[in-house]
Chains A and B, each alone.
Chain A
Amino acid sequence: MKRGLLLWCAALATYAFLYIPLAVVVLFSFNDSELNAAWVGFTTRWYGHLLANEALLQAAGNSLLIAFVSSTFATLLGTMAGLAMHRWRLRLLPFLVLTPVAMPEILLGVSLLLFFRQVLDLTLGMFSILVAHITFSIGFVAIIVRARLAGMDESIFEAARDLGASPWRTFTRITLPLILPGIVAGYLMAFTLSIDDFVITFFVAGVGMSTLPLQIYSMIKVAVTPEINAVSTLLMALTLTMIGLASRFAPEALRGRS
């Protein structure tokens, strides 16, 4: 089994490549030294520093609020789009929904910046970030909801109709409960995308408003400190918890990612 061994080694190397850098970040978040270079001793003081970092806490609060609001709207609009795209042969809507998902983020970021500043003459801030996040999330929700619908046995609707249920009754009693896991998965996806987004937010945030990724970016730009390791570690722990919850309550969320 020489070939099998070779495959194992190559795959193991890739897994190591994926995990070692993140492990180093976590490790140095507990290191009692200003420098991310050599192990000195164990400490949790960098986590203490985070609690005193008001700008960071404020940014985290903004991120959460933006994620809640934008993913709610994106789920509503994305579910409508997913339902419509499944039921009717449409031309414009699939183009509108799928293009923002496929193109480099920077393009949506700068075109929204241009639109908000030049056309609407809007002061950038919470509102512009919300609109931008809803715009890029709709497509992901729509794709997940449509995939859920496509995987269903359609004869169940026929049965409901044969038994005399009106379209509306069929929808609320059969369709909606059946696609609900897809909607929840879409919501979680939109939430994660929003809280994670850096590129688009970077262009539409303006000067006074910060989100967690923007704050981390400016921290990295200023200086590399173990405080960044600490906030990264906390975020990774949070993401792990989210994924754990998602796989428990909405397995589609994980499949939707891939």
Chain B
Amino acid sequence: MRAFSFWPKGDRLTRWLVTLPPSLFLIVFFLLPSLIMVAASFRAPGEFGGLAPLAERGLTLDAYRFLTEDIIYLWILAKSFLVAGLTTMFCLLLAFPVALLIARSPKRQRDFLVLLVILPFASNFLIRIYAWIIMLGPMNLLYSPVAVILGMVYVHLPFMILPLYTNLEKHDPALLEAAQDLGAGAWTRFWRVTWPLALPGVLSGSALVFIPVLGMFAVPELLGGTGDILIGNLIKEQFLDNRDWPLGASLSLGLTAAVLGVAALSVMLARRRSGKLGASV
């Protein structure tokens, strides 16, 4: 820790005064609601949404029983993972050339090329989905799984390009020159030098795409057919249409668990990689 910074470290009063307001706000409006979500999943649904009074219906495992009894929920969760996986893969395929091109461009052009990536991303994401309604309508592709994947890729692509570029920009061009001098062809140079070094960027880009796609409901709702719903749509339905809040809460916890699992996996992979690199150097 810094011995010296803008404020004396030992000043406990100021530390509390600065830390308390944001902490309190987020405890009340983020941590507490998240914990209540856990409790809600063990309650019975109210007649018109909400939860049934605790005194009348008590605690129940019904919401979880639903989830395990009907295979459809597991299927939709699996489908969400599939869509997130495919989206991540296509984003990677589209993003890598762009990121590589920007990283290998002259320094003066880089900022401009990055800006070109950010600009479409800055328009509202409903507009970006709407653009595909117009594009796909005449092609008879609207309301299909293809439309859902296309929309997902379109909405999340910059999340893959930017971390990849940040990684590729740091590569030392001397490594590629050395590989070439040693007789490696373009293919070998890519797979033996660029790709292994780019893996941390690939990993963080993948997490940034995979996690939001997993919970997305607007893209399947606007571009997909009735059979293309994902776990996000299921959660939305329980809270706003079917009004089975406990089931919605248990589905949300399932999504949370899936997200935590993916995040933990990516952290683990990153650690293992840096460990390997450390061992080989």
Binding site for B on A (CB under 8 A): 3, 7-8, 10-11, 13-15, 17-22, 24-25, 28, 36-37, 77-78, 80-81, 83-84, 86-90, 92-93, 96-97, 99-100, 102-108, 110-115, 117-119, 131-132, 134-135, 138, 142, 149, 154-155, 157-158, 161, 167, 170-171, 174-175, 192, 196, 198-199, 203, 212-213, 216-217, 220-221, 224, 228-229, 232, 235-236, 239-240, 243, 254, 257-258
Contacts of A161 in B (CB 8 A): 4
With A18-B157, A199-B218 given, is the CB distance from A89 to B33 under 8 Å? no
Q: Is the CB of B6 within 8 A of A171?
A: yes
With A118-B50, A119-B36, A171-B7 given, is the CB distance from A11 to B97 under 8 Å? yes
Q: Is the CB of A104 within 8 A of B22?
A: no
Which chain B residue lies CB-closest to A131?
Answer: B29
B141 beta carbon closer than 8 Å to chain A? no
Range for the number of chain B residues in contact with chain A = 35 or more
Least Cβ–Cβ distance between B161 and chain A, in angstroms: 8
Binds A, one of B57-65, B67-75, B244-252, B269-277: B244-252
Q: Is the CB of B30 within 8 A of A257?
A: no
Which chain B residue lies CB-closest to A9?
Answer: B97
Which chain B residue lies CB-closest to A198?
Answer: B126
Pick from A93, A113, A196, A240: contact of B124, CB below 8 A.
Answer: A196
Pick from B49, B115, B118, B215: contact of A104, CB below 8 A.
Answer: B215
What's the count of A-B pairs with C-beta under 8 Å? 258
Q: Is the CB of A36 within 8 A of B97?
A: no
With A14-B94, A171-B6 given, is the CB distance from A110 to B123 under 8 Å? no
Q: List 15 interface pairs A-B (beta carbons < 8 Å), by A numbering.
A: A7-B101, A8-B101, A17-B94, A21-B128, A83-B18, A90-B19, A102-B211, A103-B256, A104-B255, A108-B33, A110-B239, A110-B252, A154-B5, A170-B7, A199-B218
Least Cβ–Cβ distance between A4 and chain B, in angstroms: 9
Q: Is the CB of B256 within 8 A of A107?
A: yes
